[in-house]
Amino acid sequence: MGNRGMEDLIPLVNRLQDAFSAIGQNADLDLPQIAVVGGQSAGKSSVLENFVGRDFLPRGSGIVTRRPLVLQLVNATTEYAEFLHCKGKKFTDFEEVRLEIEAETDRVTGTNKGISPVPINLRVYSPHVLNLTLVDLPGMTKVPVGDQPPDIEFQIRDMLMQFVTKENCLILAVSPANSDLANSDALKVAKEVDPQGQRTIGVITKLDLMDEGTDARDVLENKLLPLRRGYIGVVNRSQKDIDGKKDITAALAAERKFFLSHPSYRHLADRMGTPYLQKVLNQVGGRNWGLGADRPDTPMEFDEKELRREISYAIKNIHGIRTGLFTPDMAFETIVKKQVKKIREPCLKCVDMVISELISTVRQCTKKLQQYPRLREEMERIVTTHIREREGRTKEQVMLLIDIELAYMNTNHEDFIGFANAQQRSNQMNKKKASGNQVIRKGWLTINNIGIMKGGSKEYWFVLTAENLSWYKDDEEKEKKYMLSVDNLKLRDVEKGFMSSKHIFALFNTEQRNVYKDYRQLELACETQEEVDSWKASFLRAGVYPERVGVSGGASETEENGSDSFMHSMDPQLERQVETIRNLVDSYMAIVNKTVRDLMPKTIMHLMINNTKEFIFSELLANLYSCGDQNTLMEESAEQAQRRDEMLRMYHALKEALSIIGDINTTTVSTPMPPPVDDSWLQVQSVPAGRRSPTSSPTPQRRAPAVPPARPGSRGPAPGPPPAGSALGGAPPVPSRPGASPDPFGPPPQVPSRPNRAPPGVPSRSGQASPSRPESPRPPFDL
């Protein structure tokens, strides 16, 4: 039927879930469960109905599952359903189950598409189901409808995260085949919370609704977006089949026929379909629920008392009916082999962890090829396949190392203490134990039963040695209150009182004598259960063992005799042999651990990591060339092609903008300033003596601005009739105030001026000076 351990565990998990749901609280414990995650209308509810074989879940358009549904499937002879909120009522008509789910959903969330994280617990008993516990979660959506809040997307996501983030939750990621798998909401969430893919199983629905000429072969073969546990394809009933009341049994038969007859899926038919998905969940779920329970780096705990008992049994079995005078070496070999075999499982788990990390590293490296998705997938597939091939070889070598340790016990090893040293150490330990001065533990304890009679519990400082238990007033150990011998003492648990928050255990005498004064037992209390367990372990080292309660008196007596067979009731010769074997086992196992710790990394490096590195360097390229069309491998992803097109459009747009800016710079250039006029002719030509220009003045003259005479607005003679003296000598008109000498700084800049609009006959401002007001010398312009 599946994983037997999981079948035993599921009822316990179901009861825990029911207990938390009964008080209206979601179990915050990391309980094992399978969460069904997917987008809206991806087919999650149809997959669950196929598991049960009945129509019992609400259907419709939009968001239908608005509360988490904890579906507990129990294999039984009769078929019926029970709700946690309807205790004692059995539903044999599954149409009523659907109506009850709708009514219970509306009772909490309302009738207008609201959601709630409070789960509905439904238990289905049927002979057609396997023992499974699943959680049907609301489908992920993006747009609110009805009275849903605007942040409905984040509310649903937070609800999903409450389930899928737990390490013991197996994620069933449901994605429809008629949509792009890269846009799958379920796989996106699964990748976030489970990047290694250790607890994610992909489910592909609606394979029969894909466009003609297309298929999901690459997905189901785990080539496109590969998952560690792969994908399983299922075919659900269509809406037409549901409306036509098509039986689920017939639907499962049609599903089987679909995979067997489809040319792209027939080679995968034995690993497709709802029945196979049920088996995988039943098997993988059990292994996943134990994930992380035993790790190679977890220290192995052992019971000192149990080990000594095994050693004593081995010695007695070797001696048989004879009386042994010497310590048998066969007992040593028997105990060592048992301990060496326990190393095998952690070594194999170490290999698994290295492989998982190596595959994760490969995926991290291939992210640089994300612009070529097919090349990336093919490279991951080739390297991962090689790693899986090397996994078997590596594990065989690891098993060989353990078998080599089991084949021969090298008692001549230089680090091995040998029988003589072991016996000497045993004698030293016995002498130290006989001295009784060895302190095993110190700490504060409360004497519970004595304090009740004196008005309250009292706390004392206890000191436990190999022979005595003493307590003092404080930790300075100056005022001793009492000292109790540990001979003939045993431990038993005591239930704590109604008003007490402390954890209590008691010491009592096996000969029914008073332990302390008039008290038959001494009750000691601690703040936590961890302290109680620690004190119990310390008392074990001192020879004080817990009370064994058997089914009958004979069984109890047998266990007591067995528990003390190597301590108080053991003869001194056997006790000495047990201590000797114990020292020998410790010494030899230290050698074995050192050897395995040294060879394990070397073996994994040689057979796994270095080999994979050499494969990538020398053979990966050849495998890529031989896998088919290389042009197909170098196809760009749609996102990369779209990004490239956007960059090209942006490039052309920016190039055109730069061209426009360049045209503006070349066509809108301002007219440059005219070059300065050469006025050297003024220096050659001189004015005749006794003649003055009409515009001259008796003051020293300075050079006028060099301006072409034809430009209006320039300084010089005003327009109109020429002055009276201009035609006397027949000389050409001379600009006003010619410079006596050339300006060493060059001509002053051109200064525009208004044209003289005075009527004819009126002298201009720049003309002859008034006779009553001589013209003062004007400084040159300095702009």
If DSSP states are collapsed to H, E and C, what string results for 343-370?
CHHHHHHHHHHHHHHHHHHHHHHHHHHC
Do residues 423 and 282 share a domain? no
Quote the crossing angle between the two packed helices 248-261 and 274-289, to the nearest 10°. 90
pLDDT of residue 165: 87
pLDDT of residue 225: 79
- Dihedral of CA atoms 121, 127, 131, 133 in degrees, nearest 10, equals -20
Q: What digits encode the pLDDT tens for the residues 396-430? A: 999 999 999 999 888 888 887 776 665 566 555 55
Residue 738 CB-density burial (10 A; 0-12 exposed, 13-18 middle, 19+ buried): middle
Most confident of 12-21, 102-111, 298-307, 766-775: 102-111
The answer as to whether 35 is a domain residue is: yes
CATH number of the domain within which 44 lies:
3.40.50.300
The rounded distance, in Å, linking the Cα atoms of 121 and 781 is: 102
The answer as to whether 180 is a domain residue is: yes
Q: Which residue has the higher pLDDT, 681 or 451?
A: 681
Residue 581 tokens read as 């074997």
What distances in angstroms separate CA 236 from CA 93, 242, 658, 764, one per listed residue? 22, 10, 59, 109
The answer as to whether 521 is a domain residue is: yes
pLDDT of residue 327: 55
Query: Average pLDDT of 80-97?
Result: 85
CATH number of the domain within which 454 lies:
2.30.29.30
* Mode of pairing for the β-strands spanning 33-38 and 169-176: parallel
Length of the chain, please?
783
Percent with pLDDT over 70 in the chain: 67
Is residue 727 scored above 70 in pLDDT? no
Q: How confident is the model at residue 164 (pLDDT cuts 50, 70, 90)?
A: confident
Q: What digits encode the pLDDT tens for the residues 203-221? A: 999 888 888 888 888 888 8
The answer as to whether 340 is a domain residue is: no
Is residue 182 scored above 70 in pLDDT? yes
Measured in whole angstroms, the distance separating CA 26 from the mean position of its chain's CA atoms is 23
Q: Is 488 helix (H, G, I), strand (E, B) or coil?
A: coil
Q: Concatenate the DSSP letters of all residues of 96-134 into one string.
A: HHHHHHHHHHHHHH-SSS---S--EEEEEEETT--SEEE
pLDDT of residue 10: 58
Residue 26 and residue 117 in contact, taking contact as beta carbons nearer than 8 Å: yes
Q: What digits encode the pLDDT tens for the residues 27-69? A: 455 557 888 898 887 888 888 888 888 888 887 666 778 888 8
- Of 76, 624, 625, residue with least CA distance to 377: 624
Boundary residue ending a domain (555, 572, 589): 572
Q: What is the DSSP letter of 271?
A: G
Q: Which residue has the higher pLDDT, 534 or 425?
A: 534
The answer as to whether 274 is a domain residue is: yes
pLDDT of residue 359: 87
The rounded distance, in Å, linking the Cα atoms of 19 and 29 is: 12
pLDDT of residue 601: 92
Residue 237 and residue 248 in contact, taking contact as beta carbons nearer than 8 Å: yes
Number of domains present in the structure of the chain: 2
The answer as to whether 686 is a domain residue is: no
Residue 138 and residue 63 in contact, taking contact as beta carbons nearer than 8 Å: yes
pLDDT of residue 693: 47
What is the rounded end-to-end Cα distance, in angstroms, of the chain? 107
- Of 107, 121, 102, 100, residue with least CA distance to 20: 121
- Of 545, 542, 543, 539, residue with least CA distance to 526: 539
Query: Average pLDDT of 274-293?
Result: 66
Is residue 72 scored above 60 in pLDDT? yes
Boundary residue ending a domain (257, 289, 321): 289
The rounded distance, in Å, linking the Cα atoms of 566 and 576 is: 10
Q: How many other CB atoms are there within 10 angstroms of residue 377's CB atom?
A: 19
- Of 224, 8, 10, 262, residue with least CA distance to 134: 10
Residue 525 and residue 504 in contact, taking contact as beta carbons nearer than 8 Å: yes
Residue 690 tokens read as 């006794």
Is residue 728 scored above 60 in pLDDT? no
Round the average pLDDT of the chain to a whole number and report it: 74
Q: How confident is the model at residue 232 (pLDDT cuts 50, 70, 90)?
A: very high
Q: Is 669 helix (H, G, I), strand (E, B) or coil?
A: coil
Is residue 433 scored above 70 in pLDDT? no
Boundary residue ending a domain (546, 572, 598): 572
Is residue 485 scored above 80 in pLDDT? yes
Is residue 744 scored above 70 in pLDDT? no
Residue 419 tokens read as 């029988």
Residue 256 and residue 266 in contact, taking contact as beta carbons nearer than 8 Å: no
The answer as to whether 62 is a domain residue is: yes
Is residue 605 scored above 90 in pLDDT? yes
Is residue 569 scored above 60 in pLDDT? no
- Of 727, 733, 730, 731, residue with least CA distance to 704: 733
Helix/strand/coil percent split, the chain, to 5: 45, 15, 40
Q: How confident is the model at residue 95 (pLDDT cuts 50, 70, 90)?
A: confident
Q: Is 223 helix (H, G, I), strand (E, B) or coil?
A: coil
Query: Average pLDDT of 726-735?
Result: 51
Query: Average pLDDT of 261-280?
Result: 86
Q: What is the DSSP letter of 520?
A: S
Q: How confident is the model at residue 610 (pLDDT cuts 50, 70, 90)?
A: very high
pLDDT of residue 658: 87
What contacts 24+ positions apart, CB below 8 Å, involve 330-335? 331/577, 331/581, 332/409, 332/581, 332/584, 332/585, 332/588, 333/409, 335/307, 335/310, 335/311, 335/581, 335/585
Which of 472-481, 540-549, 588-597 has the weakest average pLDDT? 540-549
Is residue 675 scored above 70 in pLDDT? yes
The rounded distance, in Å, linking the Cα atoms of 157 and 161 is: 6
Domain range enclosing 101: 4-22+31-289
Q: What digits encode the pLDDT tens for the residues 620-670? A: 888 888 877 777 778 777 777 888 888 999 999 888 888 888 877 655 556
